[in-house]
Structure 1
Amino acid sequence: MLNINDIKKPIAAEIDVFEEKFKASMQSSVPLLDRITHYIVKRKGKQIRPMFVFFSASICGGITEASHRGAALVELLHTATLVHDDVVDNSYQRRGFFSINALWKNKIAVLVGDYLLSKGLLLSINNNDFNLLKIVSEAVRQMSEGELLQVEKVRRLDISEDVYYEVIRQKTASLIASCCACGAASAGADDDTIEKMRLFGEKIGIAFQIKDDMFDFGTDDVGKPLGIDIKEKKVTLPLIYALNNTTATEKKRIIGLVKNHNDDPEKISQIISFVKNTGGLQYAETQMRHYQQDAFLILDTFPEGEARTGLEELVRYTTERNK
């Protein structure tokens, strides 16, 4: 398994500079806001999104000041959506830490999300980065639509593969696509190259989400509780395939379990066994590899070098991870 710090080495200095700039981009004259944004910065993850921005900029001409602003814009708007999501989902933890709404309640969490959103908008407007703002704003629009599409379809449970792919393309893939497009745009790439990098990111985002959905039916040591999607009545690719490749009677029984017994550990175990025994995980793995390969084919159109190698390794890390 690739180590994220080894992948990061070629752009480690850029990531360090980014972290300082990102921290500065959230500063406020309100002490409460500063305490909360300091808490957010402290809980930073692996910096996957900034890495996609910087490697994409590198492969398209080179990292610039605009690349740093693009990475900060993505992180600000993404963080804002996460803060709001935790309020909507009544979630009190994120990545093992208390969420903003758990510590400071919903009203403050919503206002903090709004503040981060405004800081991202101003960062772009004040530097005339309208092309970057357009790319990321489009991603946020798609993320919102994807979330609402999922909410609508969850009520039915019996969704098609096409609907599933549309949901994850909008909800997850659009953000990684915006990272890659921002990187290319910040390096001065032409429209065709920007679109090529956006499509590359979209393929990775879809593969990433399929892999994440597989964890729900696998081991429970991946940082994501086993069966959490089932409890939330989310119908993901492994379950969709299994339901489409069984008898009508069994399909009706499993849908009934998801609808009516989704918080019963024994019933969840039955659903997981059904998915595994019907080939749902193998099918999802095949589809994930298909999107991964599509991304590699796009990368193959770029010259070999450190940036391309970095992106290839980052693709493998995000799609072949065990957690």
Structure 2
Amino acid sequence: MSLDTPVAKPHDRLAATLDADLAEVNALIRARMASKHAPRIPEVTAHLVDAGGKRLRPMLTLAAARMCGYGGPYHVHLAATVEFIHTATLLHDDVVDESAQRRGRPTANLLWDNKSSVLVGDYLFARAFQLMTETGNLRVLNILSDAAATIAEGEVLQLTAAQNLATTEAIYLQVVRGKTAALFSAATEVGGVIAGADDAQVQALFDYGDALGIAFQIVDDLLDYQGDAKATGKNVGDDFRERKLTLPVIKAVAMADAEERAFWSRTIEKGDQRDGDLDHALDLLHRHGTLDATRTEALTWAEKAKAAILTLPESDLRDMLADLSDYVVARIN
């Protein structure tokens, strides 16, 4: 699948199918991000919400609920909850990472300040919890509150693991499951739960979201070393410059000789980066084939996502979600 194909992308087909629900989600997001006393809250939130994000995570909730036959109103609340949690984590992440660009635009912390980004992120987390409690479904509350805790745990784990050459692929996967996949899996799982789906269907939805989120993050990490800056909104090598040990580098470190390991130690662990280091890092990744190996892992997780969703009853929405797993990794084809 090519992203240049004239055939509608799975994401676009999902958006068209869920158009009425998405309109309600967007209206609810705008209503709940308002603040009578602190106008900076909607200013900061709108900057990120309106930045061209695909609403992928809330669409997963809407699709899962509809696919399981839900006819009530609360899938909209849950989709907005998921988007608020996601937006809050982005605001916090950009402060932690000292980022200057998000989705091709200046970050909120650059346009305003770190304090505003952190506090508005906190506000959105609070709004998210208000929304999820309005469903009156304790299981949904458990799933989303657990996801919020797991996301924070994953981010903290990354602080200690990202610049440590002893970080293994297993630890990397734990970080990814925390900071990215936890919200994907929660988004799909709560859609099934609010619809009253049976345990097997809810588990399939969880497994789909988990695998899709892992594939999504692995692709993001791969694109950092071989992506198009105009398409990704990130500069090639940002993770290297920020000294983040992601899967391509973890694989290269595992195969490094003494000289190569000394290079990774200097640039990643010690932060002593010089002119030409990024080019040398890319040369090592190509020399050891770790970019191709990382791509293979992303494709494997995408296939796991597709296999999980195909256990559910046949429907157009199910097929779109299956196609979405291909779309996520099509960015690296």
Structure-2 separation of matches of 1:66 and 1:205:
23
TM superposition shift of 1:260: 4.8
Matching of residues 136-175 of structure 1 within 5 Å: 136-175=144-183
Match of 1:88 in 2: 96
Match of 2:125 in 1: 117
Taking structure 2 as the reference length, what is the TM-score of the superposition? 0.89
Structure 1 residues 36, 10: CA separation in 2 closer, same or farther (over 3 Å shift)? same
1:207 corresponds to which of 202, 206, 215 = 215
- Residue 83 of structure 1 aligns to a residue whose secondary structure is helix
Instruction: Tell me, yes or no, if the aligned pair for 2:209 and 2:305 is still in contact at 8 Å.
Output: yes
Structure-2 separation of matches of 1:274 and 1:63:
53
Matching of residues 262-281 of structure 1 within 5 Å: 263-281=273-291
Match of 2:6 in 1: none
The worse-fitting range, judged by mean Cα deviation, of 150-159 and 300-309 is: 150-159
TM superposition shift of 1:265: 4.4
Q: How many residues align?
A: 323
TM superposition shift of 1:217: 1.9
Matching of residues 37-56 of structure 1 within 5 Å: 37-56=45-64
Task: Please tell me the residue identity of whatever aligns with 1:288.
Answer: A
TM superposition shift of 1:115: 1.5
Matching of residues 121-132 of structure 1 within 5 Å: 121-132=129-140
Structure-1 separation of matches of 2:259 and 2:66:
54
Task: Please tell me the residue identity of whatever aligns with 1:41.
Answer: V
Structure-2 separation of matches of 1:287 and 1:130:
36
Identity %: 34
Large movers: runs of 4+ above 6 Å: none
Match of 1:22 in 2: 29
Structure-2 separation of matches of 1:284 and 1:63:
41
Task: Please tell me the residue identity of whatever aligns with 2:226.
Answer: G
- Residue 131 of structure 2 aligns to a residue whose secondary structure is helix
CA deviations 1:152-200 (Å, max 9, x no partner) are: 1234223211111111111111111111112111211133322321121
Structure-1 separation of matches of 2:196 and 2:312:
15
Instruction: Tell me, yes or no, if the aligned pair for 1:173 and 1:202 is still in contact at 8 Å.
Output: yes
Instruction: Tell me, yes or no, if the aligned pair for 2:216 and 2:328 is still in contact at 8 Å.
Output: yes
Match of 1:283 in 2: 293
Match of 1:133 in 2: 141
Structure 1 residues 233, 157: CA separation in 2 closer, same or farther (over 3 Å shift)? farther
Taking structure 1 as the reference length, what is the TM-score of the superposition? 0.92
Structure 1 residues 89, 238: CA separation in 2 closer, same or farther (over 3 Å shift)? closer
Structure-2 separation of matches of 1:32 and 1:228:
29
Aligned-pair RMSD on alpha carbons?
Answer: 2.2
Structure-2 separation of matches of 1:71 and 1:265:
45
Structure 1 residues 62, 125: CA separation in 2 closer, same or farther (over 3 Å shift)? closer
- Residue 236 of structure 2 aligns to a residue whose secondary structure is coil
